[in-house]
Amino acid sequence: MIVVLTKFPIKPEFMKDFEERSKERFGEHGIDKMEGFLGMKILAGRSFPSMPANNQVVIITYWKDMESFLNYTKSKEFGEAHKNPPPKEWFAGNPSVEIYEVIKQI
């Protein structure tokens, strides 16, 4: 299984806007119909007292294998999903993508 984390650093004043957009629009372009897609979670950062602010939204997608994920990145569904990004001023930095292979699951 492949797990893909896409991390969006969001300016604090736009966090609620980004969260709402994420709930309404992420996943609306057919990712759930893609071969090998296993699921998605959207996480909104929350801060713990005495720790630095956590203003990230993380999209986690689960894929059967790397081939399934790569096929998605080449699909029309991927293109549609990335066609109308949020306003640039919402971001505190560049989004990043991390890919992991599950080596053990309990």
Which of 25-39, 54-68, 73-87 has the largest mean confidence?
Answer: 54-68
Q: Assess contact for 92 and 55: CB atoms under 8 A.
A: yes
Q: Assess contact for 8 and 91: CB atoms under 8 A.
A: yes
Count Cα neighbours of 43 within 13 Å in the Cβ-side half-sphere: 14
pLDDT at 3: 98
Q: Is 12 helix (H, G, I), strand (E, B) or coil?
A: helix
- Determine the distance from the C-alpha atom of residue 83 to the mean position of all C-alpha atoms in its chain, rounded to a whole number: 15
pLDDT at 53: 87
pLDDT at 26: 80
